[in-house]
Amino acid sequence: MRADEPLIFIVSGPGGVGKGTIVEALVRRDPRLWLSRSWTTRGQRPGERDDAYVFTTREAFEARIAAGGFLEWTDFLGNYYGTPTPDPRPGSDTVLEIEVDGARQVKALHPEATLIFVLPPSREEQARRLRGRGDPDDKVDERVRKAEEEEPVGRALADHVVVNDELERTVAEMLEIIEHHRGRAHHGAPA
Ligand code: 5GP
């Protein structure tokens, strides 16, 4: 890999673990990180930011798949989610916040990408966060089950496992991991 090639950091983990809050803090704290904005066919949640995703239709999503416009995409609980082919600002490294099937696809395409898998401090806390999001009850139960399924798969794929016990501490640990991989890439070692 060339020293100036952008690195890819994948932040994955079961739903309700706080990935979204973590990646927002990462890009605020490190201006050399560029956060990819995903496409989804899921409807916007009450109170969710307009730019949380590119909210789109199944037709538009499928047209983009056919055009080869996604680095990865998946069907997660009946909706499509996908990462458009990344186009980071020059000199920036890319951050992807995605579920484990997408993480597996990106690792297969870019084995040098760094996968940081985030775990909740407890199942109770994770379920509480999933419930606090405004999804209907049946959707919440589905997400709790899905999260249980994702955990062992993600752990097995991960380069680093981080427990999100306290946001500031978690973000600091992740910034250190990112710096570590930048140092290795610039010294020619495999990332
Ligand atoms: P949510 O509906 O809660 O926003 O997202 C559901 C799951 O999809 C989360 O685990 C989230 O990280 C993941 N996700 C968001 N964007 C993408 C994407 O572009 N690709 C994949 N594979 N997963 C995504």
pLDDT (tens digit per residue) in 136-159:
788 888 888 898 899 999 999 999
Nearest CA to ligand 1 atom 3: 15
The verdict on the CB of residue 120 being under 6 Å from ligand 1 is no
pTM above 0.85, yes or no: yes
Amino acid at 183: G
What confidence score (pLDDT) does residue 174 get? 98
* Residue 124 CA: distances (Å) to CA of 16, 76, 115, 170: 10, 22, 25, 19
**50: phi then psi, degrees, rounded to nearest 5:** -60, -30
Nearest CA to ligand 1 atom 10: 99
Residue 4 banded pLDDT, cuts 50, 70, 90: low
Q: For the segment 41-70, what is each residue's pLDDT rounded down to a tens digit?
A: 999 998 899 999 999 999 999 999 999 999
Residue 96 banded pLDDT, cuts 50, 70, 90: very high
Place of tokens 């704290």: 29
Assign residue 180 a region: left if phi > 0, alpha if psi is -120 to 50, beta otherwise? Answer: alpha
